[in-house]
Structure formats: C-alpha cells, structure tokens
Amino acid sequence: MSREKILAAVAANQPASQPLPPDPGMNFPAGDLVEKFAAVVTAIGARVVGIGSVAEIPARIAELFQGGRIVSFIPELAEIAENDISPATDPHTLENVDVTILQPHFAVAENGACWITEDLMGHRVLPFITQHLAMVVTAEQIVPTMHQAYDRIAEGAYGFAAFIAGPSKTADIEQSLVLGAHGPRSMTIFLVGL
C-alpha cells in the first residue's frame, strides 16, 4: 500500500518537531477602510458604485447593464431578477446568465476580495459562469486584512466558499491585462452608504 509506504518514509525522514510561530497579529496600519477598499477594488479592474440603500440597485442595474438574464437572491431585487436557483439546479442551465448580484459575508480592504460561501451563491458555479458579477457591500462589512478575514470565518461551516477579488482576468499574452478570461467580464461593487 502506497499510503503506509509514504507515511513511513515521511515519519522516518522528517526532522525533530518545530513549533508553530505566534500569529502575526492584527494590528497593522489600516487607514480608512472604505477608502482603501474602494481604491484597491478600482485598481484590480472592478468598479465601485456608491448607493444610499439596496432599494436603488434595480435602477442602477438598468443603467449599468444591457438587461438579459439577471439572477439575485436579494429580496429588493425580486422584481428584476430570478431567484429560484439552488444546489439542485443543473449548472449547465446557467450558461446564459448575464448579470448576477450577490451579497457576500464581508469584504477585505487590503485586496478588494469579497468572502462568499456556497449558501449565498445559489449554485457553486454561478459567480463564475455569469457574464457580469456584482456584490453588495456595506461599509461596516469591510475588514482590514486577511487576518481579520480568517478570524471572522473561524470555524465557519461550508461546502464551498471563495474570496472573489475583481473580474476574471489574464495577462498570459505578453503580460497585457485582459478582463474577462473564463469568468465574469466585469465586477461591480455596490457600496452601500458611500
């Protein structure tokens, strides 16, 4: 059995146990979190749209996108978006979704990432297969760094979860940045209270 062989070789060859280091802590210079988050989000190819409340989103969606198939689980968007997508949905039927608007648990100022677990995605493939993705973030939901992020996630249970930072992108051809590799072509952050 390779399992026993590998484990025996590893156990025989690993050095004497070394302790884990102390956690690096959380007290790093943060600055204004909303300002920082908005600046990073813009730098990574997403756009920030300030809104007073979630109720404004349908009107903004009409301005910013060309319509098509829109998906969201936010109650205020029920008029414009379909919401009957679940883990039981055949993922292949989502190939023609144009715009998806989701609410992550929180966002991270230092890198513009939004943390979203499977239960907020409808189906795992949705945030990736949609042509355009939008996330609704409030100022209180922004944490400074990934350390606070994992502190918040803690023992949280999920089957699948992701940090999503900006639109899908590639620079594989001569380091020229192109947005819209295989996932969403654009990422919009609706920043509530900006």
Partner 1 sequence: MMERTHKDHAQLSDVFNEDEPRVNWHDETLWWVRQKRDRAAHGIPEFELLRETASQIKNNVLSNLSDYLVQFEANALANGIIVHWAANAAEHNRIVHSILEKHDVKRIVKSKSMLTEECHLNEYLGGQGISVVDSDLGELIVQLAKEPPSHIVLPCIHKKKEEIGEIFHRHLGTEKGMSDPQVLTETARQHLRETFLTRRIALTGVNFAIAETGEFVVCTNEGNADMGAHLSDVHIASMGIEKLIPKRKHLGVFLRLLTRSATGQPVTTYSSHFKTPRKGQEMHIILVDNGRSAQLGRKEFRNSLKCIRCGACMNTCPVYRRSGGHSYHNAIAGPIGAILAPNLDMKEYADLPFASTLCGSCSNVCPVKIDIHDQLYKWRQVIVQEGYAATVKSVSMKAMAFTLSSPALYRFAGKSGRLFLKYAPFAVSNQMNPWYKQREMPEPPAESFGEWYKKNRN
- Show contacts with partner 1 in window 50-109 (CB under 8 A): 87-88, 91-92, 95, 108
Contact with partner 1 (CB under 8 A) among 113, 135, 136, 191: 113
20 binds partner 1 (CB under 8 A): yes
Nearest to 181 by CA among 128, 133, 135: 128
Cα distance between residue 61 and residue 63, in whole Å? 5
Residue 94 neighbours by CB distance under 10 Å: 19
- Answer for which of 74, 105, 163, 194 binds partner 1 (CB under 8 A) is 163
Least distance to partner 1, CB of residue 50, Å: 22
Closest alpha carbon to 137 in 40, 8, 37: 37
- Please tell me whether residue 122 binds partner 1 under the rule CB under 8 A: no
Q: Judged by CB under 8 A, does residue 160 bind partner 1?
A: yes
Q: Which of 18-26, 56-64, 66-74, 134-142 is the region at the interface with partner 1 (rule: CB under 8 A)? A: 18-26
Burial of 188 (0-12, 13-18, 19+ CB in 10 A): buried
Binding segment (CB under 8 A) for partner 1, from list 47-55, 63-71, 134-142, 175-183: 175-183
Using the Cα atoms of residue 168, residue 71, residue 146 and residue 50 in order, give the sign of their dihedral: positive
Strands 178-179 and 99-102: unpaired
Output the smallest distance, CB 59 to partner 1, in A.
28
Single out the residue of 16, 52, 63, 84 in contact with partner 1 (rule: CB under 8 A).
16
